[in-house]
Amino acid sequence: MAAEYQCCETGFFVHILVILLLVLFAGLMSGLTLGLMSMSLVDLEVLAKSGTPKDRKHAAKILPVVKKQHLLLCTLLIYNAAAMEALPIFLDGLVSAWGAILISVTLILLFGEIIPQSVCSRHGLAIGAAVAPVVRVLVWVCYPVAFPISKLLDFLLGEGHVALFRRAELKTLVNLHGNEAGKGGELTHDETTIIAGALELTEKTARDAMTPISDTFAIDINAKLDKDLMKLILEKGHSRVPVYYEQSTNIIGLILVKNLLTINPADELPVKTVTIRRIPSWRCGMEGLSKLRVLPVM
């Protein structure tokens, strides 16, 4: 089929203008579909409350538009499909049928899909906030068609989906921030360690926070505070050291390492001459002594 309009005619330039507008419009709808629908309501609410001043402003504009997700999705897809279907019709007036198909596919793929989605995936928040008023108008115009479809989707898939993180997912997210701590991340390694530990509290028992008594560094009450023992105490680096009588499971108290500063190792004083502080204890059967655990002391 021959082209209906020849170059330099008024109709030719009108068709070119309409084609460009359709490609741009289809690209905008495609980019907004990815940019707006990829942001969950939780992400937007977090940005609106605790983001940077610019992000708060953008999120506040987008939130009312994105709250009805199915209605927004239907609106954007309807306009995108309408623009792509209308494009070959106007191209057919300029080139042959095969040319119209090839050109429309190329234009839609490059300028209507790849480039817009690439840009909106990175700057979706800013672009979505800038065109939010336009999207409101488009939703209103397409409401008679998009609303019934969105209601059907609400019925089949649910009205809304709040993507909240589970405990394990939050822990993984925190660990990822910890791995980026040395690369200029917002959280330091110590902060991520504290947060991850707090998330694990509900899964921890008292036994997990304690050290088996067989692995605990303790000293005999009858031992002498000579040079070797004093050196060993310093190497352990604890501020408190348990003291036992005869058996390592028979803990009778503890000593503060700072109280040993005034003791001369050459005097080889017995441990029992130093102030021994009593620690809380409980009675247990002999069969439980091997499983006894104590809180780690630093």
Mean pLDDT over the full length of the chain? 80
Q: Residues in the chain with pLDDT < 70?
A: 1-10, 93, 159-165, 178-186, 280-298
pLDDT of 292 reads 43
Q: Residue 204 — φ and ψ, nearest 5°?
A: -95, 150
Annotate 123-180 with DSSP letters as a single string: HHHHHHHHTHHHHHHHHHHTHHHHHHHHHHHHHHH-S----PPPHHHHHHHHHHHHHT
Tokens of 213: 């008594």
Q: Global pTM?
A: 0.58
One-letter identity of residue 271 = V
